[in-house]
Structure 1
């Protein structure tokens, strides 16, 4: 997939002192925070304002493979790719890198909720088309 494809989102950060645990590297829970930030920024960047206001996202599952530790002041790139939408669920893959090193790979499943009822809800086709144009065309 192209880095400019609408179903991807990437952001950069520098590891802060608050991210470091007693072992001297980024705490495992911080990686989940980075994933959540990437997924929500991706949604907010592509979805229309009324869809953003009318929907919430909650994580259902994360599978994380930690490969290398990150340390204070490391420059980290977090890239999220929306792989598919199925019903009210969205499946993302996130790669967290420092230079050429993959620090972590995360597969996650998120559920879209109606902001008022807090019940799972499918996204309308026109919204799906913004994220996965080929998938929307096949329905």
Structure 2
């Protein structure tokens, strides 16, 4: 079973540009958040989207190259694994073939009403995201 990748186009706008003339590093984290949330909203069933919310727990970002105003940028993300209420994403931000940034992030799924951690069902993880949440066998 293979996780389903998701691509999210990004438009670099003047507000993204810092005093050095390129996209401010903090904007990359906004792009990751936008991408992960769009991934969930696009692939998950409507009732799951309505009943769940997401908060970021951790981001590890490696900046490779700067982005500039009017660049055609795309974020490609994949949900690599789910453990309990936590989801682990890998996102690569590109301009053409150039990798601008690589981001590993951990997110917590919450019940939208109680704001308590909530698990994604095995069926949703498997059927909509291509993730097997079963524990590997001792032989694996």
Aligned partner of 1:19 in structure 2 is 16
Distance 1:138 1:86 in 2: 10
User: Does the 8 Å contact 2:3/2:79 carry over to 1?
Assistant: no
Structure 2 match to 1:123: 120
**Cα deviations by residue, 1:1-26 (Å, 9 ceiling, x for unpaired):** 9xxx6621102223111110111100
Q: Matched residues in 1 for 2:29 and 2:135: separation?
A: 32
Unmatched segments (≥5 aa) in structure 2? none
- Please point out which of 127, 130, 133 is paired with 1:132: 130
When normalised by structure 1's length, the TM-score is 0.90
Instruction: Find the aligned partners of 1:24 and 1:112 in 2 and give their Cα distance.
Output: 36
Cα contact 2:10–2:31 (8 A) shared by 1: no
Aligned position for 2:36: 39
Task: Give 5+ residue unaligned stretches, structure 1.
Answer: none
1:128 deviates by: 1.2
Select which of 70, 73, 79 maps to 2:67.
70
* 1:82 partnered with 2:86: no
Q: 1:8 is matched with which residue: 1, 5, 24?
A: 5
Rounded to whole Å, the distance in 2 between the matches of 1:28 and 1:123 is: 31
Instruction: Give the distance between the partners of 1:15 and 1:128, measured in 2 at CA.
Output: 32
- Tell me the equivalent position of 2:103: 106
Aligned length: 135
- Deviation, 1:136, is 4.6
- Structure 2: distance between partners of 1:106 and 1:122: 23
TM-score, length basis structure 2: 0.90
Aligned position for 1:50: 47
SS of the counterpart of 2:81? strand
Partner in structure 2 of residue 29 of structure 1: 26
4+ residue runs over 2 A deviation: 136-139
